[in-house]
Amino acid sequence: MPLIEFEVRGNVAEVRLNRPSALNAINAEMEVALGGAWARIDSDPDIRVAVLAGAGDKAFCAGGDLSDLPGSQDGLSLSGLSLGGGLTGLGGRLVRLQKPLIGVVHGHVLGLGFELAACCDILIAADNTRFGLPEARAGFIDHCGPVHRAIRQLPYRVAMAMITASEPLDAERAFQFGLVNEIAAMAALPDTVERWVQKLLACSPLVSQAGKQAALTGLEASLEQAVGQRYPLIDAYAATQDFREASQAWKERRAPQWQGR
């Protein structure tokens, strides 16, 4: 059975961590497979939305499998391939996924699993979800991606409680703090995900991608610098079929038919 399930359904790529017996902990083989999935998603113009989920009913991802990530210090892989979708790779290499990424989490979301979730653009959580950074309680820390995500996406003291005291965060509090977009019962997750997928598919894929690029790149600068610089995907959009379709659809008072080109 593959450790990563990858399926394209229309304009949607579905990626599923498929190691439920190990709570979907990421090992070396999964890391390489995930890296390949992100590359394929970004290189295929027909893929407009990606969805990331985890198999089984106990965990989205319990983090990195330290017993099976060779070629590194203390078991952590340094290849930096897997967590690339706006996600930080193991070892700190930042690879940003161009397409919008919906994360669907449930059960345990720990360590690197927390980082995977925090790197999604839209996050849907089952009502049994518990986010956590167990490093302090376990007495181990090396890869700091989850720490950097937590302090940027959560209130300071909430993040610090997770970082320094391994305090867990349940779905309701995660929603209150803006970490997740929506909470759903496990049985309702498929319908909830499909609703968000349709929202994204109704939008211009090139505009969504251009807006994402500008937003994430702009975060690295001051507001003054961010609003004053140019962004390649925005500059290129005026020459696309979708730009012309948007103009024509507006004139004809109809819904546009996006091509992603």
3-class DSSP assignment, residue 36: helix
What is the distance between the alpha carbons of residues 28 and 137, in angstroms, rounded to a whole number?
24
Structure tokens at 72: 């590194």
> How many Cα atoms within 13 Å fall on the side-chain side of residue 187?
0
Among the listed residues 5, 14, 115, 252, the single catalytic one is 115
What stretch of H or E contains 51? strand 49-54
Active site annotation includes 172? no
Is the C-alpha dihedral spanning 166, 189, 183, 119 positive or negative? positive
Active site annotation includes 224? no
Judge whether 131 and 168 are in contact, CB under 8 Å. Answer: yes
Judge whether 125 and 174 are in contact, CB under 8 Å. Answer: yes
Tally of helices (H runs) and strands (E runs) in the chain: 11, 12
Closest CA to 68 of 26, 20, 18, 27: 27
Among the listed residues 5, 29, 135, 172, the single catalytic one is 135
Residue 89 Cα distances to 85, 94, 101, 141, 170, angstroms:
9, 6, 16, 16, 25
List active site positions.
Answer: 115, 135
